């Protein structure tokens, strides 16, 4: 049920930190935000009837208990109290920005302790009274920390004032000091002014408070794990890169911010030992040739898992919850002139095809608008490819209907819902079964295979600036989403994903925009987007 293998090997990661002489602060809460899909919560929770997330709900807490029973078998022996590097654990993340259910917080704390947590526990919230009152457990003497990226004097004063109000004296700690920020599709890359950052960090250090830089290493939202910001009825999916303009970039390379903060620390703490960072090897590989292509409708059975139902089911109900599902049915012609179709409540983005021909693409608020088309024959095959572009990771919309992905309530022809659906969950683990010599009709969602022989490997970025929208896989590893909308136009490829010898790159592209050659490049590629173009 739980997977801690390969890149998900938490035990190996924490033990590596210990070998490097680092201590570890763990956030084992089932919700972490972190611009992660659904804030880290699993999509299948949305199939539970009337479940209330992050609350004193027996269904939710039972799921947490099952998770902790497995998770703490890894964490408990790695605590500093058992000879490991874990020095602290967080009970919940910014709960005061979501709810005020102290019974729930105490239940999470009790579960952590039941399964072996015996290091310092803490909460982390915005450093003002409303969030601290709702999200901390100061009344239980649990360490309360603050999250912010500037105005340290004011934030720590507010945190200290609330401690005094509660009759508690604790260390002042900024658990997340935001040294950068995340970026979203269709918006400019967010960059923090370095001079302003250094001044804000100097203020924290001058006050003698504890601080964690968030992020220190940006990283990557591989696969379908990018989160989404919420704006009323509109969601704003975040890009695959979580570079964050952090001290270390996606490839683990030190950035100018790293060296600037290193210099600041040398100035303020000359006795502090600092070591030079490692610089990873980067490679360029040009003109990787296309060796095969096939459209989705031709290879659908090879790359999917099929489910039949009278009414269309959500991605969560189908047991998937992520990526893409193709919904298929047969429709009858009712008129000789144009007929009207409407897709009701689908999320997030869909392609509408009749007999394999692209008719319309709709996204968010466009979904539900009339799709008018003339049917040449008595019957037609209707295919709707739906993409989940990421669930919200923060705020009030965790349980909004918009977070249930797929075809929604269905498709209407004229004024009635169409029944009898075949549903195909696209499974990119099955790519080895795909025949890339099959038919590839222009304009259809398609798979493109490229092959390259490498004498040596290294970190790099896959240049997708000539492609439309989709995902890329290198030797079976899902690098994540790309979209010509920008700002991100290249996906990070860790050296560990590449082989000395033969390598296969597969691009799944939904808009019919591709290139016959690929490049692996040393640096990320971003599209310039004007601020007022958002």
Instruction: Decide: 374 and 340 in contact? Cβ < 8 Å.
Output: no
Alpha-carbon distance 491 to 473, whole Å?
A: 10
Catalytic choice (35, 176, 313, 422): 176
**31 close to 53: Cβ distance less than 8 angstroms:** yes
Tokens of 514: 């591709």
**Catalytic annotation on 439?**
no
Alpha carbon distance 197, 259 (integer Å):
13
Handedness of CA 241, 246, 252, 253 (dihedral sign): positive
Alpha-carbon distance of 327 to 199, in angstroms, equals 53
**3-state SS, one letter per residue, for 481-516:** EEECCCCECEEEECHHHCCCEEEEEEEEECCCCCCC
Count of C-beta atoms within a 10 Å radius of residue 108: 26
Closest Cα partner for 495 from 515, 475, 514, 511? 475
The answer to whether the CB of 367 falls within 8 A of the CB of 423 is no
Q: CA-to-CA distance for 261 and 460, rounded, in angstroms?
A: 26
Where are the strands (E) in 163-227, listed by range? Answer: 173-178, 210-214
Scan for tokens 């790695």, then name that residue. 78
Whether 176 is a known active-site residue: answer yes
Q: Are 359 and 352 in contact, with CB atoms under 8 Å apart?
A: yes
Annotated active-site residue in 35, 37, 92, 94:
94
Contact between residue 32 and residue 64 where contact means Cβ atoms under 8 Å apart:
no
* Token output for 380: 């037609």
Q: Is the dihedral of CA 429, 3, 246, 252 positive or negative?
A: negative
The torsion region of residue 252 among left (phi > 0), alpha (psi -120 to 50) and beta comes to left
Please list the active-site residues.
94, 176
């Amino acid at each position: 049920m739980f997977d801690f293998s390969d890149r998900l090997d938490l035990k190996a990661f924490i033990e590596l930190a210990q070998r490097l002489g680092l201590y570890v602060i763990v956030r084992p809460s089932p919700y972490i935000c972190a611009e992660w899909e659904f804030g880290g919560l699993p999509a299948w929770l949305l199939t539970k009837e009337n479940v209330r997330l992050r609350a004193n709900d027996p269904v939710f807490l039972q799921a947490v208990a099952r998770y902790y029973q497995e998770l703490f078998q890894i964490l408990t022996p790695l605590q500093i109290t058992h000879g490991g590097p874990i020095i602290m654990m967080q009970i919940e993340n910014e709960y005061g920005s979501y709810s005020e259910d102290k019974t729930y917080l105490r239940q999470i704390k009790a579960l952590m302790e039941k399964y072996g947590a015996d290091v310092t526990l803490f909460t982390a919230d915005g450093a003002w009274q409303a969030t601290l009152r709702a999200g901390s457990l100061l009344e239980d003497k649990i360490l309360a920390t603050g999250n912010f990226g500037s105005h340290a004097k004011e934030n720590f004063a507010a945190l200290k004032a609330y401690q005094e109000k509660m009759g508690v004296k604790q260390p002042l700690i900024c658990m997340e000091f935001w040294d950068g920020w995340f970026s979203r599709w269709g918006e400019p890359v967010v960059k923090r002014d370095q001079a302003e950052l250094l001044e804000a960090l100097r203020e924290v250090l001058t006050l003698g408070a504890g601080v964690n830089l968030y992020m220190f290493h940006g990283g990557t939202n591989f696969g379908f794990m990018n989160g989404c910001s919420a704006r009323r009825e509109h969601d704003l999916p975040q890009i695959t890169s979580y570079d964050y303009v952090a001290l270390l970039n996606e490839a683990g390379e030190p950035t100018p911010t790293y060296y600037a903060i290193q210099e600041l620390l040398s100035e303020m703490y000359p006795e502090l030992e600092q070591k030079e960072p490692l610089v990873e090897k980067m490679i360029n590989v040009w003109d990787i040739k296309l060796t095969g292509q096939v459209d989705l409708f031709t290879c659908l059975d090879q790359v999917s898992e099929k489910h039949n139902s009278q009414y269309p089911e959500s991605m969560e109900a189908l047991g998937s919850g992520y990526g893409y599902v193709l919904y298929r049915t047969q429709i009858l012609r009712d008129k000789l002139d144009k007929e009207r179709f409407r897709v009701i409540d689908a999320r997030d983005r869909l392609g509408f095809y009749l007999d394999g021909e692209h008719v319309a693409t709709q996204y968010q608020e466009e979904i539900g608008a009339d799709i008018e088309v003339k049917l040449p024959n008595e019957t037609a095959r209707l295919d709707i490819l739906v993409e989940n572009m990421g669930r919200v990771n923060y705020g009030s919309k965790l349980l909004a209907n918009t977070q249930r992905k797929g075809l929604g309530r269905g498709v209407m022809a004229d004024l009635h819902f169409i029944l009898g659906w075949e549903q195909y969950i696209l499974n990119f683990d099955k790519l080895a079964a795909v025949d890339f010599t099959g038919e590839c009709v222009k304009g259809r969602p398609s798979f493109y295979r490229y092959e390259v022989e490498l004498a040596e490997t290294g970190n790099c970025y896959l240049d997708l600036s000539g492609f439309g929208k989709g995902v890329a896989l290198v030797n079976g590893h899902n690098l994540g989403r790309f979209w010509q909308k920008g700002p991100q136009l290249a996906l990070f490829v860790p050296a560990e994903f590449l082989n000395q010898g033969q390598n296969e790159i597969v691009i799944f592209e939904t808009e019919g925009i591709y290139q016959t050659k690929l490049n692996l490049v040393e640096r990320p590629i971003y599209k310039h987007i004007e601020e007022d173009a958002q």
